[in-house]
Every structure is written in C-alpha cells, then in structure tokens.
Amino acid sequence: MQRLRNFLQQHCSDNGLIEVIDQIATISKDIAHLIQLGDLAGVLGSAGQENVQGENQKKLDVIANDLLKDGLAALPSIKGLASEEETLPVGCNPDGRYLVLFDPLDGSSNIDINVTVGTIFSILAAPAELDGGDERAFLQPGKQQLAAGYVLYGPSTLLVLTTGNGVFSFTLDSRVGEYLLQRENIRVDTKTAEFAINMSNQRFWKPAMQNYVADLLRGEEGPLGKRYNMRWVASMVAEIHRILTRGGVFMYPWDSREPKKPGKLRLMYEANPMSLLMEQAGGKGSTSTESILSVQPLGIHDRVSVVIGSAEEVATVERYHEA
C-alpha cells in the first residue's frame, strides 16, 4: 500500500503544497494520539473559555488549534493561518506562498462521549501583495482552493483529501506511524435515499426547507416517491465521510433563531473544503440557492447555509427553494 508522501509526489507537481499537506498529516497523528488517550492524557472537558464564535471551547479544541498553528507556522512556505479558534488571521512567514484555514476539531461536542470528531483544512495561494495576517488575503471563493481535506478520528484515523484531481482516502497505520492509501478516485452516487439534518430545529427553517423535509418523511407516498433514512452524528466530518462512503445529503440550513446570519457553519474552513471534496467526487455543494464554491467571503468567519451530497438530491433541494 502506498504511503501518503509517495502518493503526493506522484500526483502533485507542487513540492511546497506537498510539504504543507504532509505537515498537516504529521500534526494529525499527535491529535489522534491525544484523542485515543482521552482522560488518561487529561485532555477532556471544558477549557473554561469561549472562542470568537461565542462557543465554549473544549480542552482539545485549544490543544489541537495550538498544535496546528505552531506546526504550520514553522514552515517557510506558510504566509498565514486562519482558524475557527482564532479571532484574526495569524501572520507567519512574509515570503510564504500558502494560506491555510482550519477547523482544528470539528464536532467537539462529541469529545467527552467518545464519538467521532475531525480536523478540516483548506489551502489557498497567498496573494503576494498582502501580509499573511491581513484578513483580505484569505477572502477568496472556494473554487480557488489549491487543496482541501479532513482527518476523521474514529475507530481508525482517516485522512481524506483532494488537490483538485480526485478524492483519495488514507488510513493511519499506527504500527508504522504512516498514512497508507486505501481508496482512490472516490465517487459519490448521484442518487440517494439517506439524509442528515438536525430535525429538532425544523420549526425554525425557511418554509422551502420545511416542505422538502416533510416530503422526505412522506416516503413512497410523497412526491419524491421513495423511503428515506435519516442519520445525524453532530460532526460534519463524520456526516461528509458517510456520504463519500455510501451517498446521502447533509444539510445545515438557515434558521430563524439568528435571522441575520445566513447559516450556522463557517464558509471558509468548513463549507468550502467539504464542498470541494464533494464536487471532486461527483457530488454537489450548495447554499440551497447557489454553489458554495462561488460564494465571495466578506470575512474569515462568515457563515453559510449548507446542502452537500449526492448531486441529484442537492438539485432537488435547490428546486424547492426556487419558488
């Protein structure tokens, strides 16, 4: 089985980008080790503070963020970093060529109950004329990503990535400390009968989304003509990985509890990288009205409504929102 770095050297002509992805992979091994140790390493529980999103940070949120920030900033090729846990971008090396955005530990509400969490990352080219700590440098639509991926910390640790030429999955072999290629050119079925959404928020959604989900629940007797199953893990990494494995659609729509925000999930380091992966695998990423990868960000912590998954089902959601 092919090791990650050997694979990258064969499939990517940009040595600097290879170095960045390899560094993320190396850091993820340390994060995976801490997650596996859990309470034995004293990393569970609250950190006793909030991040820029107003969310209570877990100890592992902070630890994972620091590991990624310090490890990536040490690379001469990194010009700047942006994270869910950082209020502002972090400037690194003035001559660097890349910007990295990341959610250090997606699904952190699952940490203390030993359920799947993950790391999401997105890599952009750094504009030569802007400093790496300048937010404007990062405000690029998702279609300009050079690479994107996630690490899933589950029963096994998996790295799933794209450099714009297909989606590939690697499994961490803890016996040798290496990611080994497991799945090549992953493709997502265009059709599905499985959806993931937090149904407890149904009363807060727009009527179009309420109508769509109501029709899902009507099964064979409804206008969609088939029986659907629902799944919900409360970890975007886990939800997207399931769809890349067996199809489906993941939705986190706008809701009326915070009407001024276009959605819950962050565009730059959650929706964009996951949409790039899904579209590289033949799926689709949408806000329910437009392609996520075409959205022009105004800030690094912008939020967006998310519908990602099997292409035909995403298109169906969009049709419900056309009226």
Domain end marker among 183, 213, 241: 183
Is the pLDDT at 295 greater than 60? The verdict is: yes
**155 and 256 both lie in a single domain:** no
- Mean pLDDT score, 41-64: 68
118 a known binding residue?
no
39 a known binding residue?
no
Closest among 194, 219, 142 to 312, alpha carbons compared = 194
Q: According to the model, what pLDDT value does residue 60 have?
A: 87
Least confident segment among 91-100, 103-112, 178-187, 261-270? 103-112
Q: According to the model, what pLDDT value does residue 1 have?
A: 87
In this structure, is residue 188 part of a structural domain?
A: no
In this structure, is residue 257 part of a structural domain?
A: yes
**129 and 250 both lie in a single domain:** no
84 a known binding residue?
yes
Is the pLDDT at 44 greater than 70? The verdict is: no
Domain end marker among 148, 183, 218: 183
Q: Decide which of 115 and 277 is more confident.
A: 277
Domain end marker among 183, 207, 240: 183
**258 and 312 both lie in a single domain:** yes
* Positive/negative CA dihedral, 267, 284, 61, 175: negative
In this structure, is residue 219 part of a structural domain?
A: yes
198 a known binding residue?
yes
In this structure, is residue 87 part of a structural domain?
A: yes
Q: Decide which of 60 and 212 is more confident.
A: 212
pTM of the model: 0.95
From CA 29, how far away is CA 46, in angstroms rounded? 22
In this structure, is residue 90 part of a structural domain?
A: yes
Is the pLDDT at 54 greater than 60? The verdict is: no
66 a known binding residue?
no
In this structure, is residue 281 part of a structural domain?
A: yes
From CA 135, how far away is CA 189, in angstroms rounded? 37
In this structure, is residue 189 part of a structural domain?
A: no
User: 3-state DSSP call for residue 239?
Assistant: helix
Q: DSSP labels for 95-150?
A: T--EEEEEEEEETGGGGGGT--EEEEEEEEEPPTTS-TT-GGGG---GGG-SEEEE
**284 and 150 both lie in a single domain:** no
**136 and 244 both lie in a single domain:** no
Q: Give how many domains the chain has, as a whole number.
A: 2
Q: According to the model, what pLDDT value does residue 314 have?
A: 98
Q: According to the model, what pLDDT value does residue 112 have?
A: 79
CATH number of the structural domain spanning residue 61: 3.30.540.10
**154 and 236 both lie in a single domain:** no
135 a known binding residue?
no
Q: According to the model, what pLDDT value does residue 50 have?
A: 52
Q: What is the H or E stretch that residue 316 is in?
A: helix 311-320
**70 and 176 both lie in a single domain:** yes
Q: According to the model, what pLDDT value does residue 45 have?
A: 64
* Alpha carbon distance, N-terminus to C-terminus of the chain: 50
**114 and 253 both lie in a single domain:** no
Is the pLDDT at 40 greater than 80? The verdict is: no
**177 and 246 both lie in a single domain:** no
- Mean pLDDT score, 193-208: 97
106 a known binding residue?
yes
- Mean pLDDT score, 214-219: 97
Q: Decide which of 112 and 207 is more confident.
A: 207
pLDDT digits (tens, 9 = 90+) for 308-321: 999 999 999 999 99
**200 and 288 both lie in a single domain:** yes
**How confident is the prediction for the chain on average, in pLDDT?**
94
Q: According to the model, what pLDDT value does residue 38 have?
A: 78
Domain with 293 in it: 194-320
Is the pLDDT at 51 greater than 70? The verdict is: no
pLDDT digits (tens, 9 = 90+) for 116-137: 999 999 999 999 999 999 999 9
**101 and 220 both lie in a single domain:** no
Q: According to the model, what pLDDT value does residue 115 have?
A: 83
**167 residue type, one letter:** V
**178 and 201 both lie in a single domain:** no
pLDDT confidence tier of residue 110, bands split at 50, 70 and 90: confident
